[in-house]
Amino acid sequence: MADQINSLEDLAAAAGSAVEVDAPREPVRDELGRSYATGKRKDAVARVWVKPGSGKVIVNGKEMAVYFARPVLQLILRQPFQIAGVEGQFDVMATVKGGGLTGQAGAVKHGISKALQLYDPSLRGALKAAGFLTRDSRVVERKKYGKRKARRSFQFSKR
């Protein structure tokens, strides 16, 4: 076979279609060498900057251990670094608004994951496989009329 198809471009040319081949992702960094991403969870929105450093995490001007006092929330923030295998290699500066502490921790985790993937595209596979790049779309269900809460009815009295 003289005209064997060697690459995806050849395949697209042979098919006569305009199939675009995804180029390898390029790192997205600002002039200070940081990557920025927005993370969201419930009503919380986090703006996250990631840059190479010693592993320091600052949330709303406070250390992570001070802002998120519960160990479970600190564990949530460390997960993207553990999955990507880059613990202690990046400094994080985050501002977060809205929601409660758990939602804010989830929003910062989402932002860290997206920013790490932008800083080093080779980390994308591990973060995506762990599900950290997907926004958790679960939100509070709205209250319906004729109900006490979203689904809870008023107490029924037979007499």
Q: What is the pLDDT of residues 97-132, one digit of tens each?
A: 999 999 999 999 999 999 999 999 999 999 999 999
Beta pairing partners, 97: 45
Q: What is the pTM of this model?
A: 0.81
Single-letter residue type at 124: R
pLDDT of amino acid 97:
97
- Let me know: does 108 contact 40? Beta carbons within 8 Å: no
- What SS3 state is found at 50? strand
Place of tokens 């990507």: 84
Q: Residue 24 pLDDT more than 70?
A: yes
CA 129, distance to chain mean position in Å, is 12
- Under CATH, which number does the domain 33-127 receive? 3.30.230.10
Q: Residue 31 pLDDT more than 60?
A: yes
